[in-house]
């Protein structure tokens, strides 16, 4: 019976690990893990009304930095006032927006986002870590 419970717990924990950006299970998120999660899930979570675009109002909930407008405009490559999923995926790393957001969130400048940093707004709505 004990072995069965241990097996079930291991399977459940493995399932949790696949739903988190912390792929190496070190209780912190590296820049590579951050980018991978932003590309895969960030768009859907930032597009609050689920219309397929991120508007300036939606963007401001994610990016609270002084450079928020510049970041938004650099991703909005067709200048239509909104960011499409294709613009999001193509532009996050190329424009430097992902690194800028990561640095903004990495308040202790460790090169990783730890549990405390991941609880802060605005990133708390994008990432769900199970430590």
What is the predicted pLDDT for the residue at 113? 87
Structure tokens at 96: 């430097």
Give the pLDDT score at 42: 86
Nearest Cα neighbor of 123 from 69, 62, 67 is 62
Task: Give the C-alpha distances (Å, rounded to integers) separating 101 from 1, 18, 24, 51, 63.
Answer: 47, 23, 21, 23, 7
**Residue reference for tokens 């939606």:** 58
User: Which has more pLDDT, 115 or 30?
Assistant: 30
pTM of the model: 0.67
With a CB cutoff of 8 Å and minimum separation 6, the contacts of 104 are 63, 64, 65
pLDDT higher than 60, residue 26: no
**122 token code pair:** 């605005």
User: Cβ distance 77 to 87 under 8 Å?
Assistant: yes
Look up the CATH number of domain 2-125. Answer: 1.10.238.10
Worst-scoring range by mean pLDDT, 3-7, 25-29, 55-59, 86-90? 3-7
Strands (E), 13-131: 29-30, 53-55, 82-84, 112-113
Domain boundaries, the chain: 2-125
The whole-chain average pLDDT of the chain stands at 75
Could you count the other beta carbons within 10 Å of the beta carbon of residue 86? 11
pLDDT per residue as tens digits for the range 71-92? 899 999 999 999 999 999 888 8
């Amino acid at each position: 019976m004990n072995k069965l419970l241990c097996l079930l717990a291991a399977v459940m924990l493995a399932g949790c690990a696949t739903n988190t950006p912390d792929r190496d299970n070190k209780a912190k998120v590296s820049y590579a893990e951050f980018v991978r999660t932003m590309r895969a899930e960030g768009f859907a979570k930032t597009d609050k009304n689920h219309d397929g675009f991120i508007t300036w109002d939606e963007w401001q909930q994610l990016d609270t930095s002084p450079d928020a407008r510049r970041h938004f405009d650099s991703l909005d490559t067709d200048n239509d006032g909104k960011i499409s999923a294709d613009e999001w995926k193509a532009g996050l790393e190329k424009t430097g927006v992902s690194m800028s957001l990561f640095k903004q969130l990495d308040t202790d400048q460790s090169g990783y986002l730890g549990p405390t940093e991941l609880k802060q707004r605005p990133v708390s709505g994008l990432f769900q870590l199970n430590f």
